[in-house]
Structure 1
Amino acid sequence: MTLSRCMVAIEGFSKVGSALVTLLDEANAKVVAISTERGAITNPHGLNVRQLNQLAAQYGSHLMDFYTDAEGICCADLFESTVDLLCPCATHPSLHAHDASRVPARLICPGANEPVTAEAEKILFELGLMDLPGFVTNCGGMLGSTMALRR
């Protein structure tokens, strides 16, 4: 699996999620769904990342009300998006056992602190889905904060 061929859904479009969306777009991945605290949007043909970032800068999490080239979905439905890569970057825990069996993504790569419950991790493992540990995928923010405090 290469990023340039991946379809991606990102839960949370704040500091981590918006930065990740930009990096994925630069790697030619197709970001097809995002969410904020106001809801989620999806477009199987891909979202316009530049427009998302502009709307987020102007309207914050209300960008959902102004992005017109997507379908609005429930935040919980984001986990059911037909994608290769699911990135929970919102809060902890957001992916629970009752959601795990409905996740079609091949790879879950968290950007939030412990977004997947232990029960959900077990189900994902049993389904053969790769759920990368948050302490590995999300360590940059904590390391950066810790290093900044020591200066």
Structure 2
Amino acid sequence: MELFSHQEFDHHEQVMFCHDRETGLRGIIAIHSTALGPAAGGCRMYPYASEQDALTDVLRLSRGMSYKNAIAGLPLGGGKCVIIADPARADKPELLRAFSKHVQALGGRYWTAIDVGVGPEDADILAENCDYVFARASQFPEGVTASQFTALGAFTSLRAGVEHVWNRSDLTGLRVAVQGVGGTGRELCRLLHEAGAELVVADVQQDAVRFAVESYGAEAVDPDRIHAQDVDVFAPCALGAVINDDTIDEIRVRLVSGIANNQLAAPEHGKILKDRGITYVPDFVANAGGVMGSATMIYSEPSLEASRESVLTLHDTVATILAQAAREDRATFEVAEQIAGERIAAAGR
């Protein structure tokens, strides 16, 4: 596989390919930047169609973590890791234990956590052989997880987007299409429902859809058509690249604000949204709540209340980005990346 000429390679400091003969582990760790501090980002387990797809994902995700941690004002750099495997496989704990030794070998240069296919209990398994794991189930009181901070941040960011677009803070009657109602998407649905929003949902897991319908009065639609619904807000909360050449012409909302990483398949899609009058809350800002709420365990004493208050500051961060983008007639992701990039560059100097 080509690395240095890869289209998603962005001067990454380190990319490590990980293998274990006994378990058949295939994984990749990508450290994008440690200018602001040790790289931090979750561990994703997914049955990628190819190793090339896995490399593309980990490069994009790790770069996004650099921007996310910088825009959130955290003393952390950006990194990410992926394990090429189905998270439903029976030997998942053995894969995690084998992989954690590779993270441990980096000596704290990279901290990992939960992500798609790797939950809080899985993070505790990673921590059996590794000192550099956060957002573990054992680090929170019963009933509290890092995903709740992610959902709170997404809700806070969405509300800031609503205020920018409609000049209102009340969400009553607002129609929101939520793509992906797993753990974090479900929590976002709960917050939106309690705020008075009307929900349209889709997920490949029918049990998750059924829960949203029964608990929040949501309308269920085909996962392949969730982006094209006649709603006010589109909230992508599944995998990335959902705003692409095939979907963008069918998106008719005024606001896009969700949890998924790398929602834009390419930068030009963010510019197309802007040209069509669709406000886009950059994904690495909208989904920063999880790392803001849980990564305090890396550099300070954790406090649930302090973490919650930190996540709520995303409202002003989003408002600032959207206002600057409107003032300068620029795409919102460009403004957010510029702010984050300047902070990283200043730290590097």
Give the structure-2-normalised TM-score: 0.34
* SS at structure 2 position matched to 1:122: helix
The amino acid across from 1:136 in the alignment is V
Larger Rg: 2
Instruction: State the 1:122 CA deviation.
Output: 1.8
2:201 maps to which residue? 34
Describe how 1:68-87 pairs up with structure 2 within 5 A: 72-73=221-222, 75-87=223-235
* One-letter identity of the residue aligned with 2:214: Q
User: Match of 1:143, as an amino acid?
Assistant: M
Q: Deviations over 1:6-63 (max 9, x none)?
A: 10100111122101100000001111x2122247xx9xxxx9847247xxxxxxxxxx
RMSD: 2.7
The verdict on how the C-alpha distance between 1:15 and 1:122 changes in structure 2, with shifts beyond 3 A counting, is same
Q: CA deviation at 1:94?
A: 2.0
Matched, 1:115 2:283: no
- Decide which of 210, 214, 218 is 1:51's aligned counterpart: 214
TM-score by length of 1: 0.73
RCO comparison, higher one (Cα < 8 Å, 6+): 1
Matches within 5 A, 1:1-151: 1=166, 2-31=170-199, 33-38=200-205, 49=212, 51-52=214-215, 72-73=221-222, 75-117=223-265, 118-150=267-299, 151=301
Sequence identity percentage: 26
Offset, 1:116:
2.2
SS in 1 for 2:202: strand
Find runs of 4+ consecutive structure 1 residues off by over 3 angstroms.
47-50, 69-72
Residue segments in structure 1 that go unaligned for 5+ positions in a row: 54-66
**Does the CA contact (< 8 Å) of 1:81 and 1:104 recur in 2?**
yes
Please name the residue that 1:63 is paired with: none
